[in-house]
């Protein structure tokens, strides 16, 4: 059976389309018009420090990898590039393949991406050091940590390789029949945490021993639901936010919640129909939902703290919390800077007019955003 796939943007509106079809037989459904932008108060200082242009567009689920003052990113045509976050200067670039499907992961020395024909490629200082073929498609950025490269494939299996030579160390295959499952074409949760490996497997956060792949804990954020394939997707998606033993994340189109990694308990979940990851600190969790609302929850109990409804239907990116500011991009290339405690707009910066394609990241003192046209922008917040 051919495996169906769905992108974040497609899935975001597909649920709405299905609901609309149930109410009427109209085949000319159009998404609601974006809410007009409010006047920019420019009440905090924010400015573009630099811009760079990648070799191609970004039409795959890019996660920008940040390590110190370096960011590593890639374009759909297979080029991978490292930039100095403070200046935008190019540190190295490499052609990993004809097309990129997942990336980027880095530990500052080794960077890893997945390219055409399911090839996992490891790079060091712009030079390829090894490549190996995966058993399945991958849309989750590889994780490079502890001298190893971890890969979560679309069939919900995990394989680990030696970062130095590509030797396969261990493999965990997915449980149950996955042949007819719809695949979400964006990065699922895959991150290190205090000597453990965390992975999103359907609606669960699974804790593995990174040395041998042994499963240690499973924590449920959401259960697959619905009678059609789109509604049954409950993948735990990246990025997520961790504060000590508290991990908070989004389950695609179902919920946002927090789990306790010390005992495997689910602390709280709140219904939230969204397709982007979350950000936060020890006191707050912030996410964007399908309608374009930016919502903040109390990290300890899940109580809603505030909700910004002024960016509705603007195809928002995942947010990034930087001190007392929240940075979120939209489908028109605007970067909105909100107040952490109230959600109110403080400032807005324009990029190239195309969608902010990846979650903003903080590298050193610079916020880095990437558009679908391949424009990389460094923003300084003061």
For 44-99, write each residue's pLDDT tens digit: 999 999 999 999 999 999 999 999 999 999 999 999 999 999 999 999 999 999 99
The predicted pLDDT at position 203 comes to 79
Question: Tens digit of pLDDT for each residue in 142-200?
Answer: 999 999 999 999 888 999 999 999 999 999 986 544 444 567 788 999 999 989 999 99
Query: Whole-angstrom distance between the N-terminal and C-terminal Cα of the chain?
Result: 53
The label of the residue with tokens 């990694």 reads 261
Average pLDDT, integer, range 208-219:
92
Q: Which homologous superfamily does the CATH classification assign to the domain defined by 5-381?
A: YVTN repeat-like/Quinoprotein amine dehydrogenase (2.130.10.10)
Residue with tokens 């928002």: 316
Contacts of residue 160, defined as CB under 8 A and 6 or more positions apart, other chains included, come to 148, 149, 150, 151, 168, 169, 170, 171, 210, 213
Mean pLDDT of the chain: 89
For residue 184, the model assigns a pLDDT of 76
- The string of pLDDT tens digits covering residues 8-19 is 444 443 443 344
Domain ranges of the chain: 5-381
What's the pTM value of the predicted model, to 2 decimals? 0.90
pLDDT at 173: 83
């Amino acid at each position: 059976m051919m495996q169906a796939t769905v992108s974040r943007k497609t899935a975001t509106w597909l649920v709405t389309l299905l609901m609309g079809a149930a109410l009427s037989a109209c085949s000319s459904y159009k998404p609601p018009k974006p809410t007009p932008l409010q006047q920019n108060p420019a009440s905090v200082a924010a400015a573009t420090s630099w811009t760079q242009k990648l070799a191609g567009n970004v039409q795959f689920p890019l996660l920008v990898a940040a390590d110190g003052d370096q960011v590593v990113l890639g374009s759909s045509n297979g080029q991978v590039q490292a930039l100095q976050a403070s200046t935008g200067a190019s540190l190295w670039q490499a052609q990993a393949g004809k097309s990129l499907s997942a990336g980027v992961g880095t530990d500052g020395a080794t960077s890893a991406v997945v390219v055409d024909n399911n090839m996992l490629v490891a790079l060091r200082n712009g030079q390829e050091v090894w490549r190996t073929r995966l058993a399945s498609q991958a849309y989750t950025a590889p994780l490079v940590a502890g001298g190893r490269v971890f890969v979560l494939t679309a069939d919900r299996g995990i394989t680990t390789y030696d970062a130095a030579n590509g030797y396969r160390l261990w493999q965990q295959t997915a449980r149950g029949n996955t042949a007819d499952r719809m695949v979400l074409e964006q990065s699922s949760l895959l991150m290190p945490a205090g000597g453990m490996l965390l992975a999103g497997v359907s609606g669960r956060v699974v804790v593995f021993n990174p040395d041998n792949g042994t499963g240690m804990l499973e924590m449920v954020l959401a259960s697959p639901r619905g009678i059609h394939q789109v509604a049954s997707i409950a993948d735990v998606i990246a990025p997520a936010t961790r504060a000590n033993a508290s991990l908070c994340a989004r389950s695609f189109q179902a919920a946002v919640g927090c789990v306790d990694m010390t005992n495997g308990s689910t602390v709280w979940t709140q219904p939230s129909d969204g397709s982007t990851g979350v950000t936060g600190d020890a006191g707050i969790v912030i996410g964007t939902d399908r309608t374009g609302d930016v919502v903040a929850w109390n990290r300890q109990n899940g109580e809603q703290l505030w909700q910004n409804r002024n960016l509705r239907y603007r195809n928002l990116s995942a947010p990034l919390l930087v001190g007392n500011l929240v940075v979120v991009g939209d489908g028109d290339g605007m970067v909105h800077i909100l107040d952490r405690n109230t959600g109110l707009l403080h400032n807005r910066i324009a990029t190239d007019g195309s969608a902010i394609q990846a979650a903003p990241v903080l590298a050193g003192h610079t916020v880095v955003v990437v558009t679908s046209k391949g424009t990389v922008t460094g923003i300084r917040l003061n």
